[in-house]
Structures are given as C-alpha cells and as structure tokens.
C-alpha cells in the first residue's frame, strides 16, 4: 500500500473527528484532499473497493452533519466511480464555507467594535456624572476584554486626563507603554499627564524618549516646552520652542511660546540683577 493511499485513508478517518469538534471546514477540506489523492493514485482493485467503502462512510457522516445542512442545504451525493463529481461538489462546499467564515468573522468584529464603543460611552457618561467607582469598574472590565489593545488604554487615559483625573490617566498610559514600549504617542501622553501632575522631571524624561524616536516632531518639542513653562525653566522653554519652529517655521503657537519664554527670562534676569 502506497504512502499516498495511507495519507488518504488518514484524511478519511479524520472527517468524523473533525465533525465532532465542529471543525466543519476542516472536515470538508480533509475529505476533498482524500478524494484528490485517490484520483491521482494507481490502486489495485481491492484497494479501490476498500477506499470507496470508506469514502461512502465519510460522505454519509458529512452529509448528516447538522451544521453543514444549515449552511449547505443540497444533498451530497456519491457513488463509486463518481469521485470527480464528488470532488467538484466538495470544492463548491468549501468555497461557500470559506465565504461564510469570512462573513462571520467580519460580523463578529463588528459586534466587538460596537460592544467596545458602547462600554466606552458608558464609562464616559459615568465620568461626566462623577461616578468614579462605576467608571473604574467599566474601564477595567473593558481593558480586560481587550487586553492587547494599547490604543484602547490610551483612549481611556485621555478621558481621565480631560477631566483632570491625572492619577488614573497615568495608570492607563503606563499600561499602554507596557504593551507598546516604543510608541511615540504613548510617551507623549505620559508626558502630558506627568506635566499636569507636576512631575516635571519625569515628564521631561518622557519627552526625551519620544524625541529619540521622532527627533523632528515639532509638537513633541512644543509639548516639552510646555513642561518647561510650567516648571518655570524659561531658557529651556525657549530652546524647545526654537526647535519646534525650526521643524515647522509656521508653527504660530511655538512662536508665542518663544516670545513668552524670552519675556519671562528677561524679567527673571532683571530681578536677579
């Protein structure tokens, strides 16, 4: 008995197991591959008869499957000598199941996105009503359901930061950083939250890390300048705004920051004199 025939027999025997596991597409593919092997292999008479008998059993098992009947209402027909007809029908079934699988996956994704947005809206409304404990429970549940989504954690952090809950915002930004430690956006968000919580030295470090990865980003220089403005480090604020303007000469807000920093630095120097 050839190795090819052994492989085909194994494929046939696997159909029943795959159906029990509700792996319908895999079962159809296994059966079709077994038929393809049979059609391209030279067999002795008794080998043909034995294979055809097993093939009839596998076709009956597949045709009796409730899940298949729901997705493919036509009867699967097979008679010895009609293997090519069966192969064609199995290809047709496989194609329909693949389309159905893609459609189901898209539907599932759509439902997940809808659920994500509904929970975000629920948490947002709880924050607006100052129901902080309930919002915390909602967002914790949401991030447990989507554990590998750093952008979700940033989005939740933004909601807290917009409402001046900087401690909570930092927690979510740090979680996003653990998920994606090279993200420039996450370093920027961390810098914003640290600045608002007056942890200026840590905010400065966050922006330094961001600028290592995006050295020509005018907004990072501008946000670093905001740290120095709040920190009252006027010379550093001026240098940061100059770099922002170098990256983008039309950046009006950076120009205003530079003027303000220079004015404050001049006043400070006069007081010292």
The 10s digit of each residue's pLDDT in 161-208 is: 999 999 999 999 999 999 999 999 999 999 999 999 999 999 999 999
> Rounded to an integer, what distance in angstroms lies between the CA atom of residue 72 and that of residue 110?
25
> Rounded to an integer, what distance in angstroms lies between the CA atom of residue 127 and that of residue 172?
15
> What residue spans define the domains of the chain?
3-105, 216-273
The 10s digit of each residue's pLDDT in 46-101 is: 788 888 888 999 999 998 888 888 888 788 888 888 999 999 999 988 888 887 77
Please name which of 219, 229, 172 lies closest in space to residue 198, comparing C-alpha atoms.
229
User: Given this model, what pLDDT does residue 112 score?
Assistant: 83
For residue 35, the surrounding DSSP H or E stretch is helix 24-40
Give the CATH fold of the 216-273 domain. 1.25.40
User: Given this model, what pLDDT does residue 1 score?
Assistant: 46
User: Given this model, what pLDDT does residue 2 score?
Assistant: 64
Does this model's pTM top 0.85? My answer is: no
Please name which of 230, 234, 142, 147 lies closest in space to residue 193, comparing C-alpha atoms.
230
């Amino acid at each position: 008995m050839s190795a090819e025939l052994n492989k085909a027999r194994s494929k046939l025997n696997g159909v029943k197991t795959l159906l029990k596991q509700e792996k319908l597409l895999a079962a159809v593919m296994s059966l079709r591959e077994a038929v393809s092997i049979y059609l391209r292999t030279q067999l002795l008479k008794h080998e043909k008869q034995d294979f055809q008998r097993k093939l009839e059993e596998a076709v009956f098992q597949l045709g009796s499957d409730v899940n298949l009947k729901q997705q493919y209402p036509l009867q699967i027909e097979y008679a010895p000598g009609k293997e090519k007809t069966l192969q064609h029908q199995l290809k047709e079934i496989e194609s329909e199941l693949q389309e159905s699988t893609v459609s189901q996956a898209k539907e599932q994704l759509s439902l997940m996105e809808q659920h994500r947005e509904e929970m975000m809206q629920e948490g947002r409304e709880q924050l607006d009503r100052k129901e902080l404990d309930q919002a915390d429970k909602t967002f914790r549940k949401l991030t447990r359901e989507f554990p590998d989504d750093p952008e979700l954690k940033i989005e939740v952090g933004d909601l807290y930061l917009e409402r001046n809950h900087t401690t909570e915002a930092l927690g979510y930004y740090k979680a996003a950083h653990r998920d994606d430690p090279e993200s420039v956006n996450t370093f920027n968000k961390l810098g914003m939250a640290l600045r608002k919580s007056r942890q200026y030295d840590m905010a400065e470090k966050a922006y330094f890390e961001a600028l290592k990865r995006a050295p020509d980003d005018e907004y990072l220089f501008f946000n670093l300048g905001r740290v120095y403005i709040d920190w009252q480090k006027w010379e550093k604020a001026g240098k940061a705004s100059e770099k922002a303007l170098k990256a983008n000469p039309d950046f009006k807000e950076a120009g205003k920051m530079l003027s303000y920093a220079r004015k404050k630095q001049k006043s400070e120097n006069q007081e010292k004199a």
